[in-house]
Amino acid sequence: MPEERATPLLTHRLTYAVGDIHGRADLLARLLTRIRADRDARAPAGPASIVFLGDYVDRGPHSREVIDQLLAFAQDPGFESRFLLGNHEDAMLDYLDGRISGLGWSKHGGDATLRSYGVAPPREESRSAWAACRDPFRAAVPPTHRVFLERLELAVAQDSLLFVHAGIRPGVPLDRQEKRDLLWIRSEFLQGERDDHWLVVHGHTPKEEAYGGPGRLCLDSGSYLSGRLTAAVFDGGDVALIETHASGSRPFPVQLAG
């Protein structure tokens, strides 16, 4: 993994992490309101850190609006915002650049992303049909969105916290982790034994609510299906979660295993 993409946050800082959004701009707007209120209540001396764990696009209906919201939030002086690459943004870039046909992406929610940019996905599931959509989609993606996607990070480290999209391969030093593992790994990470010092904060493998395991915390609460989007708060004490969903928002504590 390129060293410059495993960059650290300042230490001993109030920090938030946000799970997989997947085109749910409605949930993101509510969650960011909650996070701003939580930060104001804690009144830190300087800006809080916030790490978005990737998978902003696909599946849900408003991928474009999600990226617009993230770009706007990045200007908030109350936060140092960091944005991780998810496997869905990686697939979007691959499609834009012609590295994939789009057929596989369509089966994982890429068609919803095209619609959010005003491009009708092909009715025919064929390589040629998806190839015909590529240029209209390229034209519909604003340059600011393209720059945002191309600058997404693979990992962010802070003290004993490691923020990645999917997880890490056990037994492999951080600077030797493969991009595919950071974006795609599941069972080897979720079920494997690790001897590193990290609390890995990740998404990618959803359940209906955030869940933990030895040395890890998953914030993917299946937003596009469950209607629930989750953030974690790290302030040097017990980890807390802030959750928003279709009927409102509420904070609640979480106990970490290991």
Write out pLDDT tens, residues 222-243: 999 999 999 999 998 889 999 9
Residue 5 pLDDT level (bands cut at 50, 70, 90): very low
- Is 153 within a domain? yes
Cβ(219)–Cβ(254) under 8 Å? no
Q: What average pLDDT does this structure show over 153-157?
A: 97
Residue 180 pLDDT level (bands cut at 50, 70, 90): very high
As for how many domains the chain has, the answer is 1
Residue 199 has pLDDT above 70, yes or no: yes
- Is 51 within a domain? yes
- Is 18 within a domain? no
Strands, sheet with 48-52, edge to edge from the N-terminal-most edge strand: 79-83, 48-52, 15-18, 228-234, 240-245, 248-253
- Is 50 within a domain? yes
- Is 183 within a domain? yes
pLDDT of the residue at 252: 46
Domain of 109, CATH number, reads 3.60.21.10
pLDDT of the residue at 246: 80
- Is 117 within a domain? yes
Average pLDDT, rounded, for the chain: 91
Cβ(48)–Cβ(79) under 8 Å? yes
Q: What average pLDDT does this structure show over 214-222?
A: 95
pLDDT of the residue at 2: 38
- Is 218 within a domain? yes
Residue 159 pLDDT level (bands cut at 50, 70, 90): confident
Residue 1 has pLDDT above 90, yes or no: no
Write out pLDDT tens, residues 73-99: 999 999 999 999 999 999 999 999 999
- Is 17 within a domain? no
Q: Return the percentage of the chain with pLDDT > 70, whole number.
A: 91
Residue 170 has pLDDT above 70, yes or no: yes
pLDDT of the residue at 248: 52
Provide the domain limits for residue 132.
Answer: 23-165+172-187+196-202+211-253
